[in-house]
Structure 1
């Protein structure tokens, strides 16, 4: 009975220690969330200073018109003359853009921003004005409207309308210019010097839309938009992409473009690493427990706690270093520091170099597994399942001959020796 009580107490104490270490791991996860929010605030400040997300929200010809509005006054039907605007979408739009990027820094955080040119060619047809008898149009008051934020522009743009240069002015939510209406068809050309950050987006409001983009950014993201590029090419010098959208519905809000994605999102990898915190606590504990079974070691609960704490500190070191150096280097330094610390500690306790080296081998396997899993996001579940299977298989192998019973016997013998020596 005494043997059983000793083993039970050992397992209970180990369970309590594992629970405490998991709480510590959760606290590191909370710190990670705080650091990510700080990073996001810094990136938002950089983005805002660079003009924010670039968006060209459409190109229109706006024509004022008069109509008779019907209303009721004390039940009597009346009419009054009212004025409104009708927005004509272009038949065809072609946009060519060349984008250059640079990295801006705020404190220890960095974020990409971009500048470039936007060449726009658009064709309009206002012949339908002649067919509507219910409205009195005023084409002489018509104007072009390019919906774009003024903070996205780096210079005052000019419109070429049917070959005639026209000055532009800020108007409501964009840049406007008079049409100098002479006939039902218009051709507009303009070149904009733009700036922005995070995203580049163009609203599709033409029956035939083409967008060509060239940039030096090497990791663009095309998802999150309504249409993927018809053609794209990405290499170490940047990317080129083309969107061809025929027969797009002008009544629906469709947009095309790209996002500046940073090739290595450190915080995503750190979140995934912390999710494996349980393994980094339980596997070293199992290893130490096996050493007690086979190597005749006797470890105190405090020694289990300190060994586990060193494994948890690995994640804190990884978080701190990853904000200053690349993830791979941070991982190697953090893993080496934690693994060597625990291995030397166990070697010192047991006074056996072989046990310390065995512990090093366990940490090398553990850290190698995690690094491969973090580098292979698509295969993380498969790798994790295989690793868990191998751990269980190893445990079953070492305990296949009633080794737990042998541990109880060894423990009892040592206690009897202590009692006899005391007597």
Structure 2
């Protein structure tokens, strides 16, 4: 009887690479690879955002930068007399020699009121970019009460009352567009630029006048600026009241002092804000000798902002790129597993690149339109492209339509999150929870052992 040799079954060497596990590993690896072009897109967004900031700096350098105002301040010179003992080397006799030099005393007003009107300028543009620039008119009035020189340990006979002047410290001298003069009681004095050791502020100063220390000195002046970004004040009045009105709908109130919430009003077209600051709210006196210290830390005011500019929105959208690619690949993988339709890794790559192209389309269209319009155009283009591509590879219309509906919901969900501010995390967490639940539901009957 002829012996029959039985050959054991030889395992199929390609069976693992055709399994769901191998396909998941390859798709997962491809997702990681696609993070490289996604990172390049994010770098492009950063580059374009930096370019916008460079253009903004160029425009504001010529037009006018942030506006800061501290004043008016009453400046009164006084004599400082020193005595020096001198010994004659020959006779050894002692003599007293007196020397005198002049210093300045500075007095802040008792009452100070600032009324500011800000009007945005829409026709300033350089290339694709329109910086936030405006015209601002600041009208100030108030009163200097009787000065108390005893708090500075000064003697009345050393005060040069006939050499008094008014100074105003501000920024953006080159952007001032009005004649500069101040009304003191019933007399007008011109303000002229003076050199100052303090580099942060420029100084405007009047000619000298005779100050009467026993009567109030009322003042009134107005300055018109070309400015950008912000308007800020330093509350040097014993009582400082400030009002700002602007045709801008997204202010950011900055500095160490809060606005009056009962009178603050913000609409879709403009805003109104008030401040009232008294001397006990800030830790510096109403008078100084020799030099005024730096008081920048006590500034307050308003900054005109774009709540979320186009590059911030693009950056936020790109951060969801990993989620979009991962969920889209997962949908295709589940369809492939359920329908037994083979999708090649090259086809996954084309799908991933199409999803990456969404972000380049988004940023390029946004620079010539609004973010909402650009988002709608870019999302529609990618969804239509993937619809046509999936019809060709899946050989039917049922699954491609499901993919189209899923991508439409996903892009809509991401757009809503981008627009939200206070509730973005909450809505995003709920949405991702529902997406995870849906994936678990549709994948519950898949045999992962194949």
How high is the TM-score relative to the length of structure 2?
Answer: 0.84
Please provide the CA RMSD for this pair: 2.5
Q: After superposition, what is the alpha-carbon deviation per residue over 1:118-177, rounded to whole angstroms, capped at 9, x for unaligned?
A: 211121135323674468222222210011231241022111112111122111222111
Work out which of the residue numbers 229, 246, 257 in structure 2 matches 1:227.
257
Count of residue correspondences: 404
Q: After superposition, what is the alpha-carbon deviation per residue over 1:202-237, rounded to whole angstroms, capped at 9, x for unaligned?
A: 111111001122222222221x22222212222244
Please identify which structure carries the higher helix content. Answer: 1
- Residue 362 and residue 111 in structure 1: after superposition, are their counterparts in 2 closer, same or farther (change >3 A)? same
1:181 deviates by 2.0
What is the aligned partner in structure 1 of residue 287 from structure 2? none
The answer on 1:177 being equivalent to 2:225 is no
- Residue 392 and residue 213 in structure 1: after superposition, are their counterparts in 2 closer, same or farther (change >3 A)? closer
What is the aligned partner in structure 2 of residue 92 from structure 1? 111
3-state SS of 1:378 partner: coil
3-state SS of 1:167 partner: strand
Q: 1:232, 1:371 → 2: CA distance?
A: 31
What is the aligned partner in structure 2 of residue 15 from structure 1? 28
Q: 2:112, 2:160 → 1: CA distance?
A: 25
1:116 deviates by 3.5
What is the aligned partner in structure 2 of residue 43 from structure 1? 56
What is the aligned partner in structure 1 of residue 135 from structure 2? 115
Contact 2:121 2:134 (C-alpha < 8 Å) held by counterparts: yes
The answer on 1:162 being equivalent to 2:195 is no
The answer on 1:81 being equivalent to 2:100 is yes
What is the aligned partner in structure 2 of residue 412 from structure 1? none
> Gaps spanning 5+ residues in structure 2: where?
1-10, 87-93, 196-201, 285-294
1:70 deviates by 8.1
3-state SS of 2:264 partner: strand
Q: After superposition, what is the alpha-carbon deviation per residue over 1:221-278, rounded to whole angstroms, capped at 9, x for unaligned?
A: 21x2222221222224422222111234362542222111235511111111111111
Q: How does 1:147-226 map to 2 (within 5 A)?
A: 147-149=169-171, 150-172=173-195, 173-184=202-213, 185-222=216-253, 224-226=254-256
Residue range with higher mean Cα deviation, 372-381 or 250-259: 250-259
1:11 deviates by 2.4
Contact 1:54 1:152 (C-alpha < 8 Å) held by counterparts: no
Q: How does 1:211-290 map to 2 (within 5 A)?
A: 211-222=242-253, 224-230=254-260, 231-247=263-279, 248-249=281-282, 251=284, 253-290=297-334
How high is the TM-score relative to the length of structure 1?
Answer: 0.89
Q: How does 1:287-306 map to 2 (within 5 A)?
A: 287-306=331-350
The answer on 1:379 being equivalent to 2:423 is yes
- Residue 346 and residue 80 in structure 1: after superposition, are their counterparts in 2 closer, same or farther (change >3 A)? same
Q: 1:55, 1:133 → 2: CA distance?
A: 31
